[in-house]
Amino acid sequence: MAKNQNAVGIDIGSSSIKLIQVKRSNKGLSLENFAMSELSPEAIYEGGIHDQQSVINTIKGLVDSLQLKTKTVALSIGGHSVIVKKITLPAMSDEELAESINWEADHYIPYDLVDVYLDYQVLQIRADQGQMDVMLVAAKREVVDQYVSVVREAGLRPITVDTDCFAVQNAFEVNYSLPEDQLICLIHIGAENLNINVISYGVNTFTRDLQLGGDTYTREIQKQMGTSYQEAEAYKLGGSGASGNQIIPQDVQRILVMISEQIASEINRSLEFHLATSGESRFEKIYLSGGTVRLSTLADEIAKKTNTPVELLDPFNAVDIDPNVFNVQYLSETKSYAPIALGLSLRHKNDKEKDLIRINLLPITEADRIEDGRNFFLIIFMLLIIVSGVSYTLQGRTDEELQTKVRVHQGLNVKQRSLKEKQNRSKALEKELKDLKDEVDRKTEVIDDLTQNQISPAGFLNELSYLLSPPRDDTERENFTQKGWRWNWDTGSLWFSQIREDKRSVRLKGYGRTIDDVGELLKRLQTSKYVVKADLKMTENEMKGFTNGRRAQFVRFEMLLRVIYGTSDLKKLFQDSGEPLPTEND
């Protein structure tokens, strides 16, 4: 693969596989290849590949149909197996960040670091504040290994494992460019998952994955109408306005509208949460992509629920397409499926462009294996040259050459004595270094506490987001139950109107639909690792009106929290109480 030749982008979705190849030149991007093929519903579901051979055969079929010469590919994953966190750190060099990122990640990733692949990217450096914003990304090893394995079994060579939401962002950026004076949102809705990516003035500020998508419609039609999955899928597509003489039951349109309203409500809840916690006022525009956005009811409901203009993202907006090579009408009809694959096709080996998100979750050992093949042949070549040189030297050796060897040997003896003297001096330096290390260790705890005081308020906001989120899988559902939480609590029945923190004292104000919702929040706060004390200061019934003229009763509440952020807070808490500080064995 040429140094700057783009990889082939391959989007392995739960309902289809999309493959795109672009060519970059001084004139911009041009489309080289595009193809997609459907998968059976049993091949991939809940983020896991359950029929590997079917996926491998589908990839091989696409590669063969396009007669691809390039075998290097970029792929991506999404859903609950991916964790994305924006964190704030003290400003530091690239080398210092690389050394400390695992320690920082341990505070934010809810899995053991040995079970995930990790990568990061610096979003911006605020020199005047001495801080930097970093996007931290982790994915479960078993999921990454599974997707990499099927790609390799199909005869391809993966060089990048990206995430779905950032692949969409890169596709958006090359086609529209990121607005530096607006708050926008990119939403990709696939068959199983929905990715939300908020970009504020050109910088990522919030991402979230929801297990909602095209299959949500299909399953509901299948359930309410008692049809097979295939029949329900046909009804769904026909109900979105497909041409032909197919007769669509009236109930289908009702179901499509109902699910579209549910999805739009979940999206609106996430966007309102971001606005409430970021202090920003409104979104300028929402860009939609993914096969599910072809349903006519969805975009309209999202625009209505969020009160925000909605536009369908065109991944080929700035890509040159030869009408003599491609069916332009087909590309227009299927372009909503293409953003992830297009974003992946922009990647290449060792890409360092600062204008795009360059996350790579491919294991380091795998990337090294690609390079090792080249290094092996280089070593063999060098050995052949050395052996040939030695043979020539032995055959043509003369007395003068032997004398030269003697002089070289004498010079080596002089260097050996010099090295010995340096070794003696190094022992003295080792002692000085040990003393310096002891001094650094003494100051480390102070630095750690200062760092925690800088970043932990953001960690507390992440904790609030977690407390107001439903369980993502069976493991989290079990954890919620063990903590005494109601795992099936509708988190949308409570929201905050004010969050104010002053010297570890946090005042929360908001509304709940019932007093039970307020009680559930209080219970979750009381079990949080950040909260030492949570008091319910006030509850009051209040009637609120809506724009449609309806009125409903809500419970207005106010809570006062005592929170801790770092080691110093914990020590002070025990010192004030007169109790001994716990040890690692407690």
CATH number for position 326: 3.30.420.40
What tokens were used for 285?
Answer: 């525009």
Mean pLDDT (whole number) for 7-32 = 93
Residue 143 has pLDDT above 90, yes or no: yes
Residue with more model confidence, 36 or 467: 36
Burial grade of 83 (CB within 10 A; 0-12, 13-18, 19 or more): buried
Shared domain check, 197 and 346: yes
Length of the chain: 586
Residue 432 has pLDDT above 80, yes or no: no
Shared domain check, 305 and 276: yes
Shared domain check, 503 and 409: no
DSSP 3-state of 265: helix
pLDDT digits (tens, 9 = 90+) for 238-262: 754 333 445 567 888 899 999 999 9
Q: Distance from CA of residue 553 to its chain's centroid?
A: 39
Shared domain check, 461 and 434: no
Q: Check residue 172 and give its pLDDT.
A: 95
Shared domain check, 303 and 174: yes
- Runs of H (alpha helix) within 177-241: 214-225, 229-239
Give a yes or no: residue 373 inside a domain.
Answer: no
Shared domain check, 500 and 408: no
The residue among 206, 200, 192 whose CA lies nearest residue 263 is: 192
Give a yes or no: residue 1 inside a domain.
Answer: no
Give a yes or no: residue 448 inside a domain.
Answer: no
User: Which residue, chain included where needed, has tokens 């004076």?
Assistant: 181
DSSP, res 27:
T
Mean pLDDT (whole number) for 183-195 = 93
Grade residue 359 by pLDDT with cuts at 50, 70 and 90. confident
Shared domain check, 22 and 147: yes
pLDDT digits (tens, 9 = 90+) for 557-568: 999 998 887 666
Q: Check residue 283 and give its pLDDT.
A: 95
**CATH number of the structural domain spanning residue 538:** 3.30.1360.100
Give a yes or no: residue 17 inside a domain.
Answer: yes
Last residue of a domain, one of 381, 406, 439: 439
Residue with more model confidence, 38 or 580: 38
Kindly report the average pLDDT of the chain as a whole number: 83
pLDDT digits (tens, 9 = 90+) for 496-534: 888 888 888 899 999 998 999 999 999 999 888 888 889
Give a yes or no: residue 386 inside a domain.
Answer: no
99-108, 149-158, 362-371, 525-534: range with highest mean pLDDT: 149-158
Burial grade of 434 (CB within 10 A; 0-12, 13-18, 19 or more): exposed
Domain that holds residue 213: 8-362
Mean pLDDT (whole number) for 383-400 = 59
Q: Among 416-425, 443-452, 504-513, which is the least confidently predicted range? A: 443-452
Cα 35 from Cα 17, distance rounded (Å): 8
Shared domain check, 292 and 149: yes
Give a yes or no: residue 447 inside a domain.
Answer: no
Q: Check residue 366 and give its pLDDT.
A: 45
Give a yes or no: residue 304 inside a domain.
Answer: yes
Shared domain check, 293 and 161: yes
Q: Determine how β-strand 203-210 pairs with β-strand 194-200.
A: antiparallel
Q: Check residue 46 and give its pLDDT.
A: 81
Shared domain check, 528 and 486: yes
Last residue of a domain, one of 335, 362, 389: 362
Cα 84 from Cα 371, distance rounded (Å): 29
pTM for the full predicted model: 0.64
Grade residue 491 by pLDDT with cuts at 50, 70 and 90. confident
Last residue of a domain, one of 383, 405, 439: 439
Shared domain check, 401 and 292: no
Residue 166 has pLDDT above 90, yes or no: yes
Shared domain check, 131 and 29: yes
Cα 2 from Cα 251, distance rounded (Å): 55
Q: How many CA atoms does the CB half-sphere of 51 hold within 13 Å?
A: 14
Residue 121 has pLDDT above 50, yes or no: yes
Give a yes or no: residue 584 inside a domain.
Answer: no
Count: domains in the chain: 3
